[in-house]
C-alpha cells in the first residue's frame, strides 16, 4: 500500500467516527447561519501579465518532509500572510499526517478576512458541510469522486480548487468546467517535487479557467517559471512556514518585491 492509499484508508475510518459524533444534519444546520463565502476564485485572478496571486499555506508537517515548523501558531502565521499580501490562505486540517486540525481552520477564519481554502483529503459530501461550518470558502478536490463532490460543493456555497497531476486528470477537470484548476508538482508515488508537471500542464489550461501551480515552489525564480507557463496563482506551504522572514517571503513569492514582473505565456 502506498502512502496515498494509506492516508485515504485512514480518512475513511476517521469519517465513520466523525459522523457518529456529529451527524451531517447538525452540520447543515450550522451552515444555515453562516455569512456567504468570500470570493475565492476572484481572489486568484492575476491582475495582468507577469503578476501572480499567492495562496499561502498553514502547514506544520507533511508525510514527505516530517515536521516543518513545530512551533507554528496557525493564527499568527495566517495573520502574517494576510497582512503581507497573500490573496488567500490554505489551512491543512488533517491531524495524523500533517499535524493539522479543523479547529485551526475555525481559529484562522476568526482572525483574517481573506478567502480560506480547506486542504484536506475530501472523500465525501459530509466533509463539505464540515468545511463550510468551520468557515472555509473553498475546498481542495482531486480525481476521487470528483464530479459528485464538485457539484455538491457548489450547492453548499463552497468554491473548489480541482487538483490534477496528469493530462487525463486535467481533461476531466476541463470537461467538468472546474473554474480553478491546480497542477500538483508532487509525485504521489515518490512524494518528490518538480516544477515539470506545471511546465507541462499549465499551457494546456484555457484562460477561461484560473490556473494554479502547487508545491515545490521556494523562490521568486520558481514563481517566474510557472507564471511564464500560464499560472495565475501559486500555492506555497513549506517555503513559507520555514521562512525566517515570513512577510518578506510572501512579498517575494507573490512577486510584490522589486525584482520586476515575469512574462506569462498566452494560454488558449
* Predicted confidence (pLDDT) per residue in 191-205, tens digit: 788 999 999 999 999
Query: What's the N-to-C CA distance of the chain in angstroms?
Result: 39
CB count in 10 Å sphere of residue 221: 11
Maximal CA-CA distance, the chain:
53
Low pLDDT (below 70) residues in the chain: 1-2, 144-145, 258-268
Helices (H), 157-234: 167-176, 196-201, 220-229
pLDDT at 62: 79
Catalytic residues: 57, 59, 119, 163, 184, 214-215
What is the pTM for the complete model shown? 0.93
Amino acid at each position: 500500500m502506498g502512502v496515498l492509499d494509506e492516508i485515504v484508508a485512514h480518512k475513511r475510518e476517521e469519517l465513520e467516527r466523525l459522523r457518529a459524533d456529529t451527524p451531517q444534519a447538525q452540520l447543515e444546520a450550522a451552515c444555515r447561519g453562516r455569512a456567504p463565502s468570500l470570493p475565492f476564485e476572484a481572489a486568484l485572478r492575476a491582475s495582468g501579465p507577469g503578476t501572480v496571486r499567492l495562496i499561502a499555506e498553514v502547514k506544520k508537517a507533511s508525510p514527505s518532509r516530517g515536521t516543518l515548523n513545530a512551533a507554528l501558531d496557525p493564527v499568527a502565521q495566517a495573520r502574517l500572510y494576510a497582512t503581507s499580501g497573500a490573496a488567500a490562505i490554505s489551512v491543512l486540517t488533517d491531524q495524523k499526517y500533517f499535524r493539522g486540525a479543523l479547529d485551526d481552520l475555525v481559529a484562522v477564519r476568526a482572525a483574517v478576512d481573506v478567502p480560506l481554502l480547506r486542504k484536506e483529503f475530501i472523500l465525501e459530501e459530509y466533509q463539505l458541510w464540515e468545511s463550510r461550518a468551520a468557515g472555509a470558502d473553498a475546498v481542495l478536490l482531486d480525481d476521487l469522486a470528483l464530479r459528485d463532490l464538485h457539484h455538491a460543493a457548489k450547492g453548499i456555497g463552497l468554491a473548489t480548487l480541482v487538483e490534477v497531476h496528469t493530462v487525463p486528470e486535467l481533461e476531466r477537470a476541463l470537461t467538468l468546467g472546474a473554474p480553478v484548476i491546480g497542477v500538483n508538482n508532487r509525485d504521489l508515488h515518490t512524494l518528490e517535487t518538480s516544477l515539470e508537471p506545471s511546465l507541462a500542464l499549465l499551457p494546456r489550461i484555457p484562460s477561461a479557467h484560473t490556473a494554479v501551480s502547487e508545491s515545490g515552489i521556494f523562490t521568486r525564480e520558481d514563481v517566474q517559471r510557472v507564471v511564464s507557463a500560464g499560472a495565475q496563482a501559486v500555492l506555497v506551504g513549506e517555503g513559507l512556514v520555514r521562512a525566517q522572514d515570513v512577510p518578506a517571503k510572501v512579498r517575494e513569492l507573490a512577486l510584490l518585491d522589486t525584482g520586476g514582473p515575469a512574462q506569462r505565456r498566452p494560454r488558449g
